[in-house]
Structure 1
Amino acid sequence: MQKLTPRFIGPYQILKRHGNVACQIALPPSLSNLHSVFHVSQLRNYIFDPSHVIESNKVQIKENLTFETLPLRIEDQKTKELRGKTISLVKVVWGGATGESATWEVQIQMRDSYPELFLSGVSVCLP
């Protein structure tokens, strides 16, 4: 299972505004298969901070415009009741070139895909 974390990339220059709701962005050649006009809800103002810069060549973007993040560790565990069914979830910390993020995942799927996460000294209840 590949997990993607929504992140913003850039900053990129706005070339042209299309009405009040869209902007054309100057994209690098590596993103040339993307349409260059975006709705303003997908854009964020950016105040420059050198610590935010991620070299775009460090992020391996695939043909379908995704990139891979790998699970680093399991941070927490909980169960959720859904229509009379109990599901065990684990909070997984994902890492990659864009930094760390955490998501709740189905425990059985994570154990099948990444059994090494469950071998450490982390106390996680397994069904």
Structure 2
Amino acid sequence: MIFGNKGKLSHRYVVPYKILKRVGKVSYELELPPELAVVYPVFHILLLKKCVGDLASVAPLGSVAVKDSVCYEDVPVVIPYHQVRMLRNKEVASVKVLQRSHSVEGATWEAKVAMKSKYPCLFPSNSTPA
């Protein structure tokens, strides 16, 4: 099971856990210790690795820290493009948003009104209203 920060020298897997049951075609439920009670115990097979008994490659559980508020929020960094589309009888303004953890190819189109209300710092004060 993969946990923690990804880095060149960081541990990729933590101690082995017992598989309780197969939940779907590619997911398994693990028996997790009480310290990891906030983690949902069902994992995709790609996140698991067969334990062959080499304890030197396994990180001790003490080095794994799981916060109670496990959530991830992507923060927009810049708006490189603006566009206005005509839909029958109304105009819809949208912006292309580049998120902090995505590449340029991963930028998404969002409604300009929603982005301007949530992140006004991304829009200069002299821009045209949406």
Structure holding more strand per residue = 1
Q: TM-score, normalised by structure 2?
A: 0.49
- In our comparison, the structure showing a higher alpha carbon Rg is 2
Q: TM-score, normalised by structure 1?
A: 0.50
